[in-house]
A = this chain, B = another copy of it.
Amino acid sequence: MTDLLGKVAVIGLGSMGLGMAKTLVGAGWDVAGCDLSETARQQLREAGGQGFDTPALAAENCNTVISVVVNARQTEAVLFGENGVANVLQAGDVFVSCATMMAGDAQKMAARLLQQGVHYLDAPISGGAIKAASGDLSIMASGSPEAFAAADPALDVLAAKTYRLGDKVGTGASVKMINQLLAGVHIAAASEAMALAAKMDLDLETVYEVITGSAGNSWMFENRVPHILQGDYTPRSSVEIFVKDLGIVQDIARAERFPAPIAAAALQMYLASAGAGMGGDDDASVARLYAQISGAKLPARTDKAE
């Protein structure tokens, strides 16, 4: 596809948003990005897009706005803040919200937007920065048929798989939170297990080989433990992301009167890791926290001095 397909705005040019914006440029879209960082805007310009410093400027003349910010509060500002996109969106346009948030927050924003005839697609994403840049994300989406119809051309470019979870805004958000509960627990459990293995003087490379071939394996164990083995804590996804996401899981669980002790224990370990100064480091740093509080010896850090 090399024809110009239309104009799309991508709000938030972080590790996910910038990759998605570039993917859309590569597929022939006219892409207007927005970020507070001039560096991020410049990176998009060099890739062939435009860069703006307010959501409203980026969304001008766009039928599709994709919001790739981190939470409900930021999403609300993107939509309804002083220079929010709601000021410029027209009836029939679609707002695609990728942030992880509670279902109720998504529903409130969708209802408010629909008053002006603008569709809201609840579309949390999974897969990480590499898949964002290659157009291979998983998208967990729910919304009206009109919202899907308007968003589909862009989703087709961005996603290897779009799960169509029905017409109720909030279902996408809720399924994403179930995924984040598991992902967050599995990274923390992998950290607990590998640091205990180190404390027991087991050979960690061997443990990794055995576990990835055994019933104790998880997607996250397989993906994150190599960071520990290599001592490379360059943030692909940071500790703070799970402070946020497992925090939302706890908010949901409390509201539902649902006890979630395992996710709660995992959250404490992310909080401890952030509190100990690792908040901006890769989430496999939870293993370093376990090492600190137990005396376990992990492979030496290679991305920077300890």
Q: Which of B174, B213, B219, B259 contacts A294 (CB 8 A)?
A: B259
Q: Chain B residues with Cβ under 8 A from A193's Cβ?
A: 178, 181-182
Most B C-beta atoms less than 10 A away, residue of A128, A189, A202, A215: A215
Q: Chain B residues with Cβ under 8 A from A295's Cβ?
A: 257
The minimal Cβ–Cβ distance linking A212 to chain B, given in whole angstroms, is 9
Once A199-B258, A218-B217, A265-B261 are accepted as A-B contacts, the answer to whether A189 and B186 lie under 8 Å apart by CB is yes
> Are B178 and A259 neighbours in the complex by a CB distance under 8 Å?
no
Residue A115 interfacial (CB < 8 Å) = no
Once A210-B179, A262-B188, A265-B262 are accepted as A-B contacts, the answer to whether A126 and B197 lie under 8 Å apart by CB is no
Interface residues of A in 200-250 (CB under 8 A from B): 200, 202-203, 206-207, 209-211, 213-221, 223
CB-CB contacts of A276-306 with B at 8 A, as 1s and 0s?
0000000000000010011110000000000
> Are B216 and A183 neighbours in the complex by a CB distance under 8 Å?
yes
The secondary structure that dominates the A interface is helix
Total interface residues in chain A, CB < 8 Å: 69
CB-CB contacts of A31-47 with B at 8 A, as 1s and 0s?
00000000000000000
> Are A207 and B188 neighbours in the complex by a CB distance under 8 Å?
no
Copies in the complex: 2
Residue A96 interfacial (CB < 8 Å) = no
Q: Chain B residues with Cβ under 8 A from A209's Cβ?
A: 163
> Are B256 and A200 neighbours in the complex by a CB distance under 8 Å?
yes
| Distance A183 CA – B264 CA, assembled complex (angstroms) | 18
Q: Which of B127, B216, B257, B262 contacts A182 (CB 8 A)?
A: B216
Interface residues of A in 114-145 (CB under 8 A from B): 126-128, 138, 140
Q: Which of B180, B185, B207, B214 contacts A138 (CB 8 A)?
A: B214
> Are B294 and A258 neighbours in the complex by a CB distance under 8 Å?
yes
> Are A256 and B179 neighbours in the complex by a CB distance under 8 Å?
no
> Are A171 and B202 neighbours in the complex by a CB distance under 8 Å?
yes
10 A-B pairs (CB sep. < 8 Å):
A179-B216, A181-B196, A183-B214, A186-B216, A199-B258, A216-B220, A217-B219, A261-B265, A261-B268, A262-B265
